[in-house]
Amino acid sequence: MKIILYIIRKEFKQIFRNKGMLPIIFILPILQLVILSNAATYEIKNIELGYVDADHTRLSRGLMEQFKGSTYFNISEHFSSEKDANQALQKGEIDAYMYIPNHFERDLQNDKTNTIGVYVDAIDGAAAGIINVYISQIIQKYNKRIATDFVQISDTIQKPSSIDSIPLFWYNETLNYKTFMVPGILVLLVTMITLFLSGMNIVREKEIGTLEQINVTPIKKHQFIIGKLFPFWVIGMALLTIGLILAKVIFNVPILGNLALLYGYTSVYILVILGMGLFISNFTDTQQQAMFIAWFFVVIFILMSGLFTPIESMPKWAQFLTEFNPIRYFVEIIRMVMLKGSGFMDILPLALKTLAYAIIMNGLAVWSYKKTS
Amino acid sequence: MNNNKVIEVSGLTKMFGDFTAVNAISFEVEKGEIFGFLGANGAGKTTAMKMLIGISAPTSGQAKVAGFDVYKETESIKKNIGYMSQKFALYDDLTVKENITFFGGIYGLSKKRIAEKRDELIEELGLQEVANSLVASLPLGWKQKLSFSVSLIHDPKIVFLDEPTGGVDPITRRQFWEMIYKAAHNGTTIFVTTHYMDEAEYCDRVSIMVEGKIEALDTPKKLKEQFKVASMNDVFLKLARNIE
Amino acid sequence: MKRFIGFVRKEFYHIFRDKRSLFILFGMPIAQILLFGFAITNEINNVDIAILDLSKDATTKEIIHKIAASNHFSIVDIIEQESSIESIFKKGKVKAVLQFENNFGSNLIKEKQATVQVLTDATDPNMASTISNYITAILQNYQKEVNENVTFNYQIIPQSRMVYNAELKSVYMFVPGVMTVILMLVSAMMTSISITREKEQGTMEILLVSPLKPFQVIVGKVFPYIFLSIINALVIVLLSIFVFNVPVKGSLFLLGFESVLFIITSLALGILISTISATQQTAMMISLMGLMLPTILLSGFIFPIGSMPLPLQVISNIIPAKWFIIIVKGIMLKGIGLGFVLKETLILLLMALVFMGLSVKKYKIRLE
């Protein structure tokens, strides 16, 4: 036991003496959490909308007034031809444009329906879908208005039946994306730092030769490993704490659930990550190799964690793969506990999976660490 | 087994795939001896040593270090030996004191004993001025001496030195060997590998490895007589030529 | 010149002898793009929802049937009381609950109006609003079918065309993005490690003392990686075209040229990182910690830049990936030519020069 303490002391000394790394371990994540959380949003705002009005009537102008009044759209300009509008779309100067044909008002009065063209840059398919919905909604509203304008006494008014769908947004009435993203980004940062540090640390001792020196001492495997990894566990928990404080103070993210539960889970989670780092370092000879492998896994884990794109939308085989992605569990649990106030029983299945992962991962890592080759 | 023999090696072999790095070597080392393990670079010295210190498993053959078997009892071996690697593996980003404390702790010394040893070492090596400086700032010769002392911190029966004088000036080398004599005088067995043939003169007995095999094993005096030459360097040259 | 070639050759040897790193350098981007191309999508499929039907009449049954038939949703639970909603949300079992009011069907006929509450777990706001929109669309479709024989007056009907991506495939959006992110990270990491490793091993001093000029050393170090990255980029583009059917409407040659430019910019960034790092560890941590998240989040890869707060929009301008994504999407998906991406190209060029210039300057300072 005492021997472990000696190693822990040495590790902490080395970490805090490394002046170059300290800002990277603490300041960089904090900066990223604070700044980047503001970037993550799927809300579609500032839609650049152009239009071609070949009609120039009260009706067409009235329609455009609706859009000018909307907060989602910025009416960029009136193009004199479809060709010009298309070019602007190509250049990326506008996100969409509408084409109001000649005889627009006249046709509506006569035939009672008319069409306008809506062209949306659909490279971002999801955004395009939403833009289309917004445009349709504004046109619908305008339709209701003009119906009353145009109706004549002899016409029979047919009122369609309508089903109203009322959306109710639980846990996040204002659809605040930050509430969603901040805990997720915090998970990413804690994971990255602990994985990279633990992965590189042992390889570095390999490279400079002190690992061999240690292997010649009677120190037991588990003493060495626990001593080495414990400081990074502490750093991970510290980062979590700092992150939670920032989340509350700066972003006002609610903390509905039990903090002790969150810390308890995180302590197990970090063990998974540390086990991975150790495992990687057992099979690599240079820091470079260790980093590359760690990087490979981290990028995959991040993009497949359900943080940026939903896991439910992935094909079945990909969803299966995410079962092996520890970040996926942490992201889900931190949201459940913080934003919904989920309790111990609610997170139990996920927590148990994480625990199993921790045991297997660390078991593998310790087993593959050989003092004698 | 004879109590006096601290290292007993018989037919020890290490192969990496098809390549035989150490080819069935046999020798014995007595307590308190300074045993030189010589050979050119790449002859297999370091590989052999790694098997004796328990960090490399032999392919075949037998060996006992401090009475313990190198296959099954490596952890017991490690309790009884010290090691100084080629790279003087100390932590550059820890101070002299911190390095001593750390390695003392790893070997399970009590706090009191560590403190005693620490003061002793710093006094002996004259490192009072730099005791609280980072090892990175020490000149090479001081690092070397410190590394040697740290390898003795737990008073081991045998200490293994792997090319301990690489890159160090002649005066420091001389001082270093005085430290080795002192340790041997106190009963510690010294097993040292080197490719500096003149250092062979300082040993009680030497063995010379060529391409994985031991081609000569005796005291320096007897070897010089055997090959009818004046220096160990010449002994080695003759051996090398004979092999060709 | 001969010295320079000899130097470059040494760099190549270093790289090709480290089999493990080589495998990772090439294998990883391929594995990643395959994985992401198939797995990363914004589309909503098979979302688990629950139904709370307080009416249980023919109409609600019809509507529920329609929803079940949609491949966007998967009805996994039927609950009987409002009080059950909280616990299934807490357990994370469903993302939404559809609550049909009492007497739904008769209300619809008599009052011409009935209500469905769409309760969503909005911890994921995007998912919640998308679910909301889709349900609304399904309901509207249902109404259209029911009201088919009735004609409405005075309706403007929008005819929408999804330009460049008629099927709204999310692959179009993500594949260029993944390509960019991978190229940037691999390039920047490789060069930053290469240089700091020489520093740590002490061989850098040998280089410094040699007759090679600082600028030659830097270019020499970068050169093999340009070559490797081009191969990477080529493989990624080929995979995009043949596996994911992402079109290349514009000039392949232009795409190649811009890719090389972006690679050089990323490599230059890597060099800059290495000149400010003392150890490999620091260089790697900066490349990974400092570049990864900003590149993913601020480049327009996943989140639209236009929707970000203004200060972040400004910051996104210094992320090289942002400009390259615009270029790639433009060339591949819109078929535009150099004229339209001239601004972005020049910006990338400028960045590359600035990074290189700063690196050479820092390198020189250390010499003195």
Q: Are C32 and C178 in contact (CB under 8 A)?
A: yes
Task: Determine, for residues A340 and C89 on separate chains, whether the beta-carbon distance falls below 8 Å.
Answer: yes
- Chain A within 8 Å of B164 (Cβ-Cβ)? no
Only one residue has tokens 């160990």, namely B232
Looking at beta carbons, which residues of chain A come within 8 Å of B73? Answer: none
Least Cα separation, residue A355 to chain C (angstroms): 19
- Chain B within 8 Å of A17 (Cβ-Cβ)? yes
Task: Determine, for residues A164 and C160 on separate chains, whether the beta-carbon distance falls below 8 Å.
Answer: no
Looking at beta carbons, which residues of chain C come within 8 Å of A135? Answer: 158, 160
- Find residues 197-216 of chain C whose CB sits inside 8 Å of chain A: 197
Out of C116, C193, C281, the one facing A21 most closely (by C-beta) is C281
Q: State residue C348's pLDDT score.
A: 93
- Is residue B1 very low, low, confident or very high in pLDDT (cuts 50, 70, 90)? very low
pTM score, whole prediction: 0.83
Q: How far is CA C92 from CA A346, B186, C50, C85, C335, in A?
A: 8, 71, 12, 11, 44
- Is residue A327 very low, low, confident or very high in pLDDT (cuts 50, 70, 90)? very high
Average pLDDT (A104-115) is 77
Q: Where in C90-148 does DSSP place strands (E)?
A: 96-100, 113-121
CA dihedral C2, C4, C6, C7 (to 10 degrees): 170
In terms of CA atoms, which chain C residue is nearest residue A306? C40
Looking at beta carbons, which residues of chain A come within 8 Å of B57? Answer: 372-373
The lowest-confidence range among A190-194, A240-244, B234-238 is B234-238
Chains adjacent to B (≥3 CB pairs closer than 8 angstroms)? A
The lowest-confidence range among A79-93, A265-279, B196-210, C193-207 is C193-207
Residue A47, SS3 per DSSP: strand
Give pLDDT < 50 ranges for chain C.
368
Average pLDDT (A194-208) is 87
Task: Determine, for residues C154 and A123 on separate chains, whether the beta-carbon distance falls below 8 Å.
Answer: no
Task: Determine, for residues A113 and C154 on separate chains, whether the beta-carbon distance falls below 8 Å.
Answer: yes
- Chain B within 8 Å of A141 (Cβ-Cβ)? no
In terms of CA atoms, which chain B residue is nearest residue A206? B89
- Chain A within 8 Å of B108 (Cβ-Cβ)? yes
Looking at beta carbons, which residues of chain C come within 8 Å of A206? Answer: none
User: Does pLDDT of A275 surpass 90?
Assistant: yes
Mutate one of C162, C199, C287 to test the A interface: name it (highest A CB count within 10 A).
Answer: C162
Least Cα separation, residue A370 to chain B (angstroms): 9
Q: State residue B169's pLDDT score.
A: 85
Task: Determine, for residues C139 and A293 on separate chains, whether the beta-carbon distance falls below 8 Å.
Answer: no
Average pLDDT (B86-102) is 89
Least Cα separation, residue C358 to chain A (angstroms): 20
Least Cα separation, residue A218 to chain B (angstroms): 5
- Find residues 201-240 of chain A whose CB sits inside 8 Å of chain B: 208-210, 212-220
Q: Are A237 and A263 in contact (CB under 8 A)?
A: yes
Q: State residue A154's pLDDT score.
A: 46
Q: State residue C364's pLDDT score.
A: 66
Burial (Cβ within 10 Å: 0-12, 13-18, ≥19) of residue A178: buried
User: Residue A158 is encoded by which pair of tokens?
Assistant: 């047919």
- Is residue B13 very low, low, confident or very high in pLDDT (cuts 50, 70, 90)? very high
Who's near B154: CB < 8 A, 6+ residues apart?
B82, B104, B107, B108, B109
Looking at beta carbons, which residues of chain B come within 8 Å of A10? Answer: 91, 94, 98, 102
Task: Determine, for residues A41 and C307 on separate chains, whether the beta-carbon distance falls below 8 Å.
Answer: yes
Mutate one of C55, C107, C123 to test the A interface: name it (highest A CB count within 10 A).
Answer: C123
Chains adjacent to A (≥3 CB pairs closer than 8 angstroms)? B, C
The lowest-confidence range among A99-113, B61-75, B121-135, B157-171 is A99-113
Q: Which helix (H) or strand (E) is B8 found in, with range?
A: strand B5-16
Count other C-beta atoms under 10 Å from residue C118's C-beta: 22
Report the candidate in C171, C177, C245, C179 with the shortest Cα–Cα distance to residue C29: C179
User: Residue A136 is encoded by which pair of tokens?
Assistant: 């349709």
Task: Determine, for residues B55 and A14 on separate chains, whether the beta-carbon distance falls below 8 Å.
Answer: no
Residue B95 per-residue DSSP state:
B
- Chain A within 8 Å of C291 (Cβ-Cβ)? no
In terms of CA atoms, which chain A residue is nearest residue B134? A17
In terms of CA atoms, which chain A residue is nearest residue B14? A373
User: Is it the case that chain C and chain B have 3 or more CB pairs lying under 8 Å apart?
Assistant: no
Chains adjacent to C (≥3 CB pairs closer than 8 angstroms)? A
d(Cα C230, Cα C256) in Å, to the nearest integer?
Answer: 9
For chains A and C, what is the number of CB pairs under 8 angstroms?
379
Task: Determine, for residues A125 and C47 on separate chains, whether the beta-carbon distance falls below 8 Å.
Answer: no
User: Residue C144 is encoded by which pair of tokens?
Assistant: 């259209």
For chains A and B, what is the number of CB pairs under 8 angstroms?
72
User: Residue C103 is encoded by which pair of tokens?
Assistant: 């007497």
Task: Determine, for residues B107 and A218 on separate chains, whether the beta-carbon distance falls below 8 Å.
Answer: yes
- Chain B within 8 Å of A21 (Cβ-Cβ)? no
Q: State residue A11's pLDDT score.
A: 92
Q: State residue C151's pLDDT score.
A: 58
Mutate one of B53, B55, B69, B103 to test the A interface: name it (highest A CB count within 10 A).
Answer: B55
Looking at beta carbons, which residues of chain A come within 8 Å of B75? Answer: 218, 220
User: Does pLDDT of B128 surpass 60?
Assistant: yes
A4-51 residue pLDDT tens? 999 999 999 998 988 888 888 888 889 888 888 888 777 777 889 999
In terms of CA atoms, which chain B residue is nearest residue A19? B93
- Chain A within 8 Å of C113 (Cβ-Cβ)? yes
pLDDT, chain B, mean: 89
Task: Determine, for residues B55 and A6 on separate chains, whether the beta-carbon distance falls below 8 Å.
Answer: no
pLDDT, chain A, mean: 86
Q: State residue A271's pLDDT score.
A: 94
- Chain A within 8 Å of B191 (Cβ-Cβ)? no
- Chain B within 8 Å of A15 (Cβ-Cβ)? no
B43/C68: higher pLDDT: C68
Task: Determine, for residues A314 and C333 on separate chains, whether the beta-carbon distance falls below 8 Å.
Answer: no
Q: Are C114 and C95 in contact (CB under 8 A)?
A: no
In terms of CA atoms, which chain A residue is nearest residue C344? A91
| Helix %, strand %, coil % of chain C (to 5) | 70, 10, 20
Who's near A161: CB < 8 A, 6+ residues apart?
C108, C109, C112, C113, C143, C146, C147
